Amino acid sequence: MLVNSKELLLDAKKNGYAISHFNINNLEWTKYILEAMQELGQPVILGVSEGAKKYMGGFYTVSSMVNGLLHDLKITIPVVLHLDHGTSFSSCKEAIDAGFTSVMIDASSYPFGENVRITREVVEYAHPLGVSVEAELGHIGGSEDNITSSSTNATLEESIEFVRLTGVDSFAPALGSVHGLYRGTANLDFDTMKKIHENVDVPLVLHGASGIEEEKIRRAISCGISKINVNTEFQIAWHNDVLKFVKEHPDAYDPRLVIASGSIAIKNAVKEKCALFSKEAK
């Protein structure tokens, strides 16, 4: 069933684990992720970027597809349908009106005051409709949806003020992670992460988790991270298996066979990440 993320993330914050946020890019990826999570019996946040929304046709198409899969696959776990990095109030509103149960407004490229204003506007629209809101402070750089940007870390003082002024349900402070592939190793600011966790009431979110070493993921969870976003690692795992299939079956032309050849890779990646994010991983 579709739910918002608020209670799920508060439980994760209270009990020291992280909820999985996996980006979806088409019907097949959504199906594989839901099947794997149903088998594990764990909740999941399905993230939809604006680029993925455009690729799949629109927010209503995505919402209808997810709801159809929940029904036909008999999915009983809690599922959050989440706009990942919504760039404007209008984009967040469109997703909410289409049936999304959670949105992220990313106004982090604006000055602090404008970020607060835009985020607050989304919160005021979303909350009466039972939709949870995530926001970002600082800027998580790297490459996503063919857009490359640099990073700017959030500070403790601004993080406390931002959460207080906006009323968000979850908070993604930029603390050294990047979108896409890492060049070298991740340089996460665990000290500030822990201090933010201790000084705000809402769960913290880690974006750009693909490629971060497992010990750093576990440490981030111990420092208060309650939601972890993964996308690029799934893309790479899927690509590798599909590439192998195409090389071994050069005459295969049925798109169902080609796309499905990466299904095991995605399901295995889901299970590996869930094991890492769980309470037992500590």
Whole-angstrom distance, CA of residue 224 vs CA of residue 212: 16
Q: What is the pLDDT along the chain (282 residues), one digit of tens a residue?
A: 899 999 999 999 999 999 999 999 999 999 999 999 999 999 999 999 999 999 999 999 999 999 999 999 999 999 999 999 999 999 999 999 999 999 999 999 999 999 999 999 999 999 999 999 999 998 665 544 444 444 678 999 999 999 999 999 999 999 876 655 555 566 789 999 999 999 999 999 998 777 788 999 999 999 999 999 999 999 999 999 999 999 999 999 999 999 999 999 999 999 999 999 997 655
Q: Which residue has the tokens 């906006």?
A: 166
What is the distance between the alpha carbons of residues 24 and 79, in angstroms, rounded to a whole number? Answer: 13
**Predicted pLDDT of residue 281:** 53
The answer to whether the beta carbons of residues 9 and 227 sit under 8 Å apart is yes
Sign of CA dihedral 26, 141, 188, 7: negative
d(CA 48, CA 5): 14
How much is the pTM? 0.93
Torsion 94-97-98-102 (CA) sign: positive
Which of 84, 169, 189, 241 is catalytic? The answer is 84
Is 84 one of the annotated active-site residues of the chain? yes
